[in-house]
A and B are shown apart, each in its own frame.
Chain A
Amino acid sequence: MQRFAELLDSLAFQPARNAKLRLITTYLAATPDPDRGYALAALTGTLDLPNAKPALLREFGVQRLGETLFTLSYDYVGDLAETLSLIWDAYVDPDGEAAGSRAGHNRPPPSLGEVVDRLRLTSKRETPQLIERWLDELDATGRWALIKLVTGALRVGVSARLAKQAAADLGSVSIDDVEEVWHGLKPPYKSLFDWLTKGAPRPAVSGTTAVFRPLMLANPLDEAELPTFDPLAYRAEWKWDGIRVQLAAGGEQRRIFTRGGDDATAAFPDIVEAMEFDAVLDGELLVAHPSSGTLAIAPFNDLQQRLNRKTITPKILRDFPAHVRLYDALFLGGEDLRALNFDERRARLESWFGERPRGPFDLSPLIGFATWDELTALRAGARAAEIEGLMLKRADSAYVAGRPKGPWFKWKRAALTADCVLMYAQRGHGKRSSYYSDYTFGCWRGEELVPVGKAYSGFTDEELLRLDKWVRDHTTNRFGPVREVEPGLVLEIAFDAVQRSTRHKSGVAMRFPRVHRIRWDKPHAEADRLDALTRLLPVN
């Protein structure tokens, strides 16, 4: 437990992805089974433990310190788990040097495996005593980690995908190999580690269980290359503006995975209910309202209403009905189609789909075209908000995990741009922590600048140096890591769309804003007015 706690602690302070990977891999290499397996489960969110309620923790704290001191402490720290972990042994040993870990008794702290096993076996009524005993045995970092574990959320900035990548690194295998076997396994993942570190055979994957299969991703199209491609060798589809998902159903299991392999099943009961099939499908999750026989796709904003919710109410289901527009089939009826080419898979998908009730599903239509000019014109004419652009897929492409170069391209709609004025700059993280690299910019409303978005990318390292210097030379106010600058620098911002926003003073928010050009030359008074953006809002 202590080592796991130290890992979480380091991760919480480490912004860089590669460094996080190194920390996890180092831990996994040095920690025996089953602890490392439970740690991996905790990091990937597959560790299902009985929860402790915050009220119980608060009560513990008040018992230890009394109401006054506990309240003063909690007010200062602002986080219940952390407060409790810090104050826990404040009165154990008044005479000793401070901070003895585990002052006042000699029992060794529990291992992670012990914590998990005991929590699973102990009745709900006895759980508080158990937690209390462990809090006595652990040091402050250990207590903090334990409380995180029993209250559910680790929040150390590690995605399930990243943790799996670390496991893959440990065994020098590809993450796709780990993903393939992953959902067939259970914590503490002994067979996985036997494979990764001890030369045991790779754990078996059964045909159609609802496991995540790594998605095939597209590369951005370089338009200059387009004329060199044979139009007859490619198929085209709209690129829908939702969330890419994989639907996996078979036997008793039904799961919805996001692009990164995170399990989103719980958020979409309306889709799950309709997954009465044995298949693994690739598609786009949208919010769509059936209206007079056609489907009206709602703005991306509406889809966000369905994400990151703890409870899905009937009202949410009614107001924001989910829909999946299908792109591809990886498995049908237990048969692995991934080695087939796109045309073959598409034909199988169409015939399979034609034989079953529709439900909240439809097929993403193929777009007929004979020449690139024709397709270019179609792309230019498509202004519907739900369309992000086009997808080009080679007719002979197998379904390959990852982002292979060549077979699939995304050809996004030309970005919109606006000239905005730099208003605030914030220090970046990690490598960029000495640079003001995050920019908030605004447009004119009357005589006033109102913020419309924030961008962190789109400039070169040399440009960043120059931007950083400009910010330092034109600062008018400081708020911690943020500097307010005098209006004077125009940033040409590229973005994909404009949405309504109640969070921003301007009432609008940009989708995917990035710095397109830095207009060192342009007077800030000539930057765009807010109307230029509100005109671009979707009509509904």
Chain B
Amino acid sequence: MPFDPTPSDPRSWLFTTPQGLYCAPGDFHIDPAWAVKRAVVTHGHGDHARAGHGATLATRETIEIMKVRFGEELGVTQGVRYGETVGIGDVDVRLVPAGHILGSAQIVLDWRGARIVVSGDFKRRRDPTCPAFEPVTCDVFITEATFALPVFRHPPDSYEIGRLLQSIKTFPERCHLVGVYALGKCQRVIRLLREAGYDGRIWLHGALVSLCDLYKREGIDLGDIAPVGEMGRNPKDDLFGRDVFKGAIVLCPPGALADRWSRRFPDPLPVAASGWMRVRARARQRGAELPLVISDHADWDELRRTVRDVQAPKLWVTHGREDALVHQARSMGVEAEALHVAGREEEGA
């Protein structure tokens, strides 16, 4: 602990350690990169939620996700409802919807009249698989900055899903392989397809199945989904016929798009769904023939709007492109600076 914590000096009671962001008066870490005694976790993605902590506090949904991912190596867990306040040490901790994925939360920390909000990852637009982000006014807002450049402007989801459905019409004999992250993006894309009226079977790579099952248990209707399993594996095996995949939608982790696994499908058309797809060079790097800009992170406009909505005089900017957002916030009269947290790298979005 660098010096005595004082409420009026936020850096004195919430700061980074080699394990990650640390709240001194509560003696806990937020989304630590390494195993710690006590962790508060914003959401279930691998770079935020890790196994091995002595005790973990998160939303009930996030705890469920962590159980699926890490089995029983979780130690003590405490699953809370959105809006519920939990006292840890001297600090009141409240989890508020972040709109990123199922269970994702902002961490609101109240200590002796001072309030810091840790956004975790968030977005502002509607997501059929989780409640919407709620802005909470605060003294310090710690924001992510994955897409903090004016070039990142995510188009409406329905427009992007429309492009996928159009492609199936243009190439009805090709299997549309959509690269998505297993947690969040996968289920959101399925829901968006259903909302767009697509009621056909959606096929899943094996790595996506368990989390889809969890979403279903959480009451999110994914419609007719089925694992690909061994189907089409042997090209000479006509029993299952590769024809079922013609014009079909198959979801898989991004890495599987150009993997040997993809060879079983008839003339696969690689689709990637990610905020990075906004930039052509990035999309080409991924080998996508159809890049869809569907992101679970706030884009430039959403970040700016959020900086304004939370009315915080101080903004700390973590992982991503801090420079642009710091510049932007300062021009809006906010005292902004970059905050480097261990274990945060550019991630899929």
Chain A residues at the B interface, C-beta cutoff of 8 Å = 10, 12-15, 19, 22-23, 26, 65, 68-69, 72-73, 76-79, 82-83, 86-87, 89-90, 93-101, 139-140, 427, 429, 431, 433-434, 480-481
Closest Cβ neighbor of A81 among chain B residues: B280
Residues of B within 8 A of A69 (CB): 149-150, 324, 327-328
17 pairs from A and B in contact (CB 8 Å cutoff) = A13-B284, A22-B170, A69-B149, A72-B323, A77-B281, A78-B281, A86-B150, A87-B151, A95-B305, A98-B154, A98-B302, A99-B153, A99-B299, A101-B155, A140-B155, A434-B260, A434-B262
Query: In the bound complex, how far is the Cα of B161 from the Cα of A106, in angstroms?
Result: 24
Closest 9 CB pairs of A and B: A86-B151, A98-B301, A90-B150, A87-B150, A99-B155, A99-B153, A433-B258, A73-B151, A72-B324
B203 CB, nearest partner CB in chain A, Å: 18
Partner of A82 from B125, B279, B323 at Cβ < 8 Å: B279
Question: Does B287 have its Cβ within 8 Å of any Cβ on chain A?
Answer: yes
Q: Provided the pairs A78-B281, A87-B151, A94-B305 are in contact, do residues A427 and B324 lie with their beta carbons within 8 angstroms? A: no
- Expressed in whole angstroms, the minimum distance between the Cβ of B76 and any Cβ of chain A is 40
Min CB gap A194→B, angstroms: 25
A76-B149, A101-B155 given; name 9 further pairs at CB < 8 Å. A22-B170, A65-B150, A69-B149, A72-B149, A72-B324, A73-B149, A79-B280, A94-B304, A97-B301
Whether the Cβ atoms of B291 and A98 lie closer than 8 Å is no
Give chain A nearest CB distance to B257 CB in angstroms: 8
B341 at the interface (CB under 8 A from A): no
Say if the beta carbon of B48 comes within 8 Å of chain A.
no
| Residues 292-312 of B at the A interface (beta carbon under 8 Å) | 299-302, 304-305, 308
Is the pair B154, A13 in contact by a Cβ cutoff of 8 Å? no
User: What residue of chain A has the Cβ atom nearest to residue B278's Cβ?
Assistant: A86
Q: Report the separation of the CA atoms of residues A79 and B279 in the bound assembly, to the nearest whole angstrom.
A: 10
- Is there contact, CB below 8 Å, between A22 and B171? yes
Q: Which residue in chain A gives the minimum CB-CB distance to B299?
A: A98
Is B87 engaged at the interface, CB distance under 8 Å to the other chain? Answer: no
B30 within 8 A of A: no
Chain B: which residue is nearest A26 at the CB level? B170
The yes or no answer to B103 lying at the interface (CB within 8 A) is no
Report the minimum CB–CB distance from B276 to chain A (whole Å).
Answer: 11
B280 touches A12 (CB 8 A): yes
**With contact pairs A72-B321, A433-B287 given, residues A79 and B281 touching in the complex (Cβ less than 8 Å):** yes
Asked if B267 is at the interface of the complex by the 8 Å CB criterion, the answer is: yes
Determine whether the beta carbon of A14 is less than 8 Å from that of B170: no
Known: A73-B150, A99-B299. A13 touches B291 (CB 8 A): yes
Known: A69-B324, A69-B328, A83-B151. A433 touches B270 (CB 8 A): yes
Instruction: Among A13, A86, A431, point to the contact of B288 (Cβ < 8 A).
Output: A13
What residues on B are CB-neighbors of A76 within 8 Å? 149, 151, 279, 321
Alpha-carbon distance between A140 and B153 when the two chains are bound, in angstroms: 9
Q: Do A86 and B171 contact each other (CB < 8 Å), given the known contacts A77-B281, A78-B281, A98-B125?
A: no
B259, A99: Cβ atoms closer than 8 Å:
no
Do A434 and B263 contact each other (CB < 8 Å), given the known contacts A69-B327, A98-B154, A98-B299?
yes
A278 → B minimal CB distance (Å): 46
Instruction: Determine how close the nearest CB of chain B comes to the CB of A372; give it in whole angstroms.
Output: 44
Contacts of B156 in A (CB 8 A): 97, 99-100
Contact of B258 among A68, A73, A434 (CB under 8 A): A434
Pairwise interchain contact A86-B170, C-beta atoms closer than 8 A:
no
Cα distance A69–B300 in the bound complex, in angstroms: 12
A198, B285: Cα distance in complex, Å = 42
The interface residues of chain A lying within 8 Å CB-to-CB of B267 are 431
On whether the beta carbons of A480 and B301 are closer than 8 Å, the reply is no
Residues from chain B with Cβ under 8 Å of A97 in the complex: 124-125, 156, 301
Those of B208-257 within 8 Å (CB) of chain A: 257
User: For the complex, what is the distance from the CA of A367 to the CA of B45, rounded to whole Å?
Assistant: 74
Q: How long is the Cα–Cα vector from A26 to B283 in the complex, in angstroms?
A: 24
Cβ-defined contact, B289 with A23, below 8 A: no
**CB atoms of A14 and B289 under 8 A apart:** yes
Among A78, A87, A98, A427, the residue within 8 A (CB) of B287 is A427
Residue of A nearest to B304 (CB): A94
Interface residues of B in 165-218 (CB under 8 A from A): 170-171
Evaluate whether A77 and B263 lie within 8 angstroms (CB atoms) in the complex, with A13-B289, A23-B170, A433-B270 already known: no
Which residues of chain A are near B304, meaning CB under 8 Å? 94
Contacts of B328 in A (CB 8 A): 69
Q: How many whole Å from A300's CB to the nearest CB in chain B?
A: 31
Contact pattern, B 129-160, Cβ under 8 Å of A = 1, otherwise 0: 00000000000000000000111111110010
* Docked pose: A2 CA to B170 CA in angstroms: 18
Residues from chain B with a CB closer than 8 A to the CB of A87 are 150-151, 153
Residue in A closest to B303 when the chains form the complex, CB atoms:
A98
**Quick check: is B102 within 8 A (CB to CB) of the other chain?**
no
Known A-B contacts A69-B324, A78-B281; the reply to A139 vs B150 at CB < 8 A is: no
Q: CB-nearest residue of chain B relative to A139?
A: B155
- Residues from chain B with Cβ under 8 Å of A96 in the complex: 301
Find chain A residues with CB under 8 A from B279 CB.
76-77, 82, 86
Distance between A8 CB and nearest chain B CB, rounded to angstroms:
11
Q: Is the CB of A90 within 8 A of B301?
A: yes
Residue B164 CB within 8 A of the other chain? no
Q: Could you tell me the distance in whole angstroms from the C-beta of B258 to the nearest C-beta in chain A?
A: 5
Could you tell me if B305 and A77 are in contact, using CB atoms closer than 8 angstroms? no
Chain B minimum-CB-distance residue to A13 = B289
Q: Does B96 make an interface contact (CB < 8 A)?
A: no
**Contact across chains for B290 and A13 when beta carbons are under 8 A apart:** yes
CB contacts (< 8 Å) of B287 on chain A: these are 427, 429, 433, 481
Tell me the nearest residue of chain A to B302, going by C-beta.
A98
Residue ID in chain B nearest A472 by CB atoms: B260
Output the least CB separation between B227 and chain A (Å).
Answer: 20
Which chain B residues border A140 with CB–CB below 8 Å? 153, 155, 278
Docked Cα-Cα span, A68 to B327, in Å, equals 8
Distance in angstroms between the alpha carbons of A202 and B267 in the assembled complex: 37
Residues of B within 8 A of A139 (CB): 155
Interface centre among B152, B154, B257, B299 (most CB of A within 10 A): B152
CA–CA, A431 and B258, complex, Å = 10
